[in-house]
């Protein structure tokens, strides 16, 4: 289309100072190192939590079965949290940035949907494991208390668990859902632009 | 045979990619960040590049994907004011200083829908329409129609802009 304005000429007048090639290369190298280290760090945290579970189980033969189980559940919740973050980084890195725009957006959307599922289901599982862990861990100590204090300790614990389950957890899920749904909506909006 | 040295690619494409990103976000610093992110990805992906497409198509694909990925950038994006306080002169082209004209074009482009920003930026960089189609994953006919529509929109805005001063 011919217009009275030479957009191409106007467009190409924009100039700026861009970083030299060595800066880009060194940033790419340090970015790669950072990615590698974050994977190493997460793997280390996962192994450490797993190692602690084994260590607790075999090193304290005198501890009550319920106490040990409680610690294992709580540590499993931590492991789940680390694992989720690890998975997310892995999926992000898997998306090839050289795909065509439509394919790339599709992949981004799939990633966001997976993230939404993981965040909402993951948060619920995380709370279940943590609550179960706390309840079991407390058993041995409550048993040594008087009936009143035993009931009181469980009352406080379950009060906290219910507060977490019915107040903190839905809020956390809602926030995550809103954030991710917002991104999905924007992706869908761009996808629709391709159809016009 | 295509020259696949990172140095050559960077030298050849850094300016067009900067303009593409600049048109997308209408902010110098954000555009520089996107350029950097693009060439970091180019550097990392270069060993995997199988030359199924031209190196230009490949670089533009990476850059446009990185721009599209900035989903929530809109909210942070400074939409600079359109320059209106220009002095009277005889003709429109004399009235509008080059720099302000460029600012206005970049402003107009950044206000287009995301895909249109990418299409027009590549068109203004003389990327072939068939290549633009390949980069976006749509038909060449569709690209042609979109370019026509975008140029109409821009011309309209420029005319309106001319009348305001």
pLDDT, tens digit, 9 for 90 and up, residues A165-190 = 899 889 988 988 888 888 888 888 88
**pLDDT band of B164, cuts 50, 70, 90:** low
A193, B10: Cβ pair inside 8 Å? Answer: no
Asked if B118 contacts A101 with a C-beta cutoff of 8 angstroms, the reply is yes
Measured CA to CA in angstroms, residue B83 lies from A103, B31, B96 at distances of 38, 21, 10
- Chain centroid to Cα A14, Å, comes to 41
How far is A10 from A37, CA to CA, in rounded Å?
Answer: 45
What pLDDT score was predicted for residue B35? 95
Element housing B25 (H / E): helix B6-25
Q: Per residue in B109-122, is it b (16+ CB within 10 Å) or e — as a string?
A: bbebebbbbbbbbb
Tokens representing A39 are 């994977």
Where exactly are the structural domains of chain A?
19-195
Does the model's pTM come out above 0.90?
A: no
Measured CA to CA in angstroms, residue A27 lies from A33, B30, B106 at distances of 10, 17, 28
Q: Using a CB-CB distance cutoff of 8 angstroms, which residues of chain A are in contact with residue B148?
A: 1
What pLDDT score was predicted for residue B86? 44
Q: Is the CB of B7 inside 8 Å of chain A's CB atoms? A: yes
Alpha-helix runs per DSSP H in A17-168: 21-59, 65-94, 101-144, 147-163
Smallest Cβ–Cβ distance between B58 and the set A98, A186, A196 belongs to: A98
Supply the DSSP symbol for A8: H
User: By mean pLDDT, which of B32-41, B64-73, B112-121, B149-158 is the weakest?
Assistant: B64-73
- pLDDT exceeds cutoff 90 at A142: no
Structure-token match 């976006």, residue found: B136
Q: Is the CB of A92 inside 8 Å of chain B's CB atoms? A: no
Q: Using a CB-CB distance cutoff of 8 angstroms, which residues of chain A are in contact with residue B115?
A: 101, 190, 193-194
Q: Is the CB of B151 inside 8 Å of chain A's CB atoms? A: yes
Rounded mean pLDDT of B107-130?
94
Share of chain B above pLDDT 70, in %: 81
Asked if B121 contacts B109 with a C-beta cutoff of 8 angstroms, the reply is yes
A104, B102: Cβ pair inside 8 Å? Answer: no
What pLDDT score was predicted for residue A163? 92
**pLDDT band of A2, cuts 50, 70, 90:** low
How far is B95 from B75, CA to CA, in rounded Å?
Answer: 33
A3, B18: Cβ pair inside 8 Å? Answer: no
Rounded mean pLDDT of B100-115?
92
CB within 8 Å of A95: residues ≥ 6 apart:
A104, A107, A108, A111
Q: What is the mean pLDDT of chain B?
A: 84
Measured CA to CA in angstroms, residue A102 lies from A161, A192, A195, B16 at distances of 45, 10, 10, 22
The pLDDT tens digits for A62-120 are: 888 888 889 889 888 888 888 887 887 777 777 889 999 999 998 888 888 888 888 78
- Nearest one of A126, A134, A125, A136 to A157, comparing CA atoms: A134
The pLDDT tens digits for A14-66 are: 888 888 888 888 888 888 888 788 888 888 888 888 888 888 778 877 888 88
Cα A134–A38–A174 angle (5° rounding)? Answer: 50
B137, A102: Cβ pair inside 8 Å? Answer: yes
B39, A24: Cβ pair inside 8 Å? Answer: yes
B58, A100: Cβ pair inside 8 Å? Answer: no
What pLDDT score was predicted for residue B1? 62
Closest alpha carbon within chain A to B15: A15
Q: Is the ipTM of this complex over 0.85?
A: no
Measured CA to CA in angstroms, residue B153 lies from A14, B99, B113, B140, B159 at distances of 21, 21, 12, 20, 10
* Burial status of residue B135 (CB atoms within 10 A of its CB: 0-12, 13-18, 19 or more): buried
User: By mean pLDDT, which of A123-132, A138-147, A160-169, B85-94 is the weakest?
Assistant: B85-94
- pLDDT exceeds cutoff 60 at B79: no
Q: Using a CB-CB distance cutoff of 8 angstroms, which residues of chain A are in contact with residue B65?
A: 97-99, 101, 104
Q: Using a CB-CB distance cutoff of 8 angstroms, which residues of chain B are in contact with residue A106?
A: none
Closest alpha carbon within chain A to B138: A194
Q: Using a CB-CB distance cutoff of 8 angstroms, which residues of chain B are in contact with residue A24?
A: 10, 36, 39-40, 43
How far is A54 from A48, CA to CA, in rounded Å?
Answer: 10
Q: Is the CB of A183 inside 8 Å of chain B's CB atoms? A: yes
- pLDDT exceeds cutoff 80 at A133: yes
Where exactly are the structural domains of chain B?
6-164
What pLDDT score was predicted for residue B90? 52
Measured CA to CA in angstroms, residue A42 lies from A73, A81, A91, A120, A135 at distances of 19, 10, 15, 21, 28
| Closest Cα in chain B, distance from residue A98 (Å) | 5
* Burial status of residue B164 (CB atoms within 10 A of its CB: 0-12, 13-18, 19 or more): exposed
- pLDDT exceeds cutoff 70 at B88: no
| Closest Cα in chain B, distance from residue A155 (Å) | 44
Q: Is the CB of B64 inside 8 Å of chain A's CB atoms? A: yes
Q: Is the CB of A22 inside 8 Å of chain B's CB atoms? A: no
Q: Which CATH class is domain B6-164?
A: mainly alpha
Structure-token match 């206000």, residue found: B111
Q: Alpha-carbon dihedral of residues A11, B76, A111, A98, nearest 10 degrees? A: 20
Q: Is the CB of A35 inside 8 Å of chain B's CB atoms? A: no
**pLDDT band of B97, cuts 50, 70, 90:** low
């Amino acid at each position: 289309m011919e217009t009275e304005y030479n957009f191409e000429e106007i467009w190409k007048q924009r100039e700026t100072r861009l970083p030299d090639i060595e800066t880009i290369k060194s940033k790419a190298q340090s970015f790669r190192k950072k990615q590698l280290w974050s994977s190493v760090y997460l793997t280390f945290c996962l192994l450490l939590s797993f190692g602690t579970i084994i260590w607790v189980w075999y090193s304290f033969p005198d501890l009550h079965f319920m106490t040990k189980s409680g610690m294992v559940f709580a540590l499993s919740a931590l492991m789940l949290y680390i694992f989720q973050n690890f998975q997310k980084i892995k999926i992000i890195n898997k998306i090839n940035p050289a795909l065509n725009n439509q394919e790339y957006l599709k992949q981004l959307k799939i990633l966001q949907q997976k993230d939404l599922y993981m965040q909402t289901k993951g948060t619920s599982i995380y709370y279940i494991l943590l609550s179960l862990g706390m309840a079991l861990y407390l058993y041995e100590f409550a048993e040594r208390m008087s009936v009143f204090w035993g009931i009181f300790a469980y009352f406080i614990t379950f009060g906290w668990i219910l507060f977490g389950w019915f107040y903190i957890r839905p809020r956390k899920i809602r926030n995550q859902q809103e954030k991710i749904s917002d991104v999905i909506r924007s992706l869908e909006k761009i996808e629709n632009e391709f159809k016009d | 045979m295509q020259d696949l040295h990172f140095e050559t690619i960077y030298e050849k494409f850094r300016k067009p990619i900067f303009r593409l990103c600049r048109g997308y976000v209408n902010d110098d610093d954000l555009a520089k960040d996107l350029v950097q992110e693009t060439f970091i990805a180019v550097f990392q992906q270069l060993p995997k590049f199988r030359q199924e497409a031209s190196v230009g198509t490949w670089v533009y694909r990476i850059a446009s994907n990185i721009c599209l990925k900035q989903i929530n950038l809109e909210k942070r994006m400074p939409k600079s004011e359109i320059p209106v306080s220009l002095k009277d002169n005889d003709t429109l082209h004399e009235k509008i200083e080059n720099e302000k004209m460029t600012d206005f074009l970049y402003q107009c482009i950044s206000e287009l829908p995301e895909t249109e920003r990418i299409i027009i930026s590549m068109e203004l960089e003389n990327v072939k329409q068939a290549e633009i189609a390949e980069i976006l994953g749509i038909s060449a006919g569709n690209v042609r129609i979109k370019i026509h529509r975008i140029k109409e929109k821009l011309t309209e805005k420029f005319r309106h802009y001319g009348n305001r001063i």
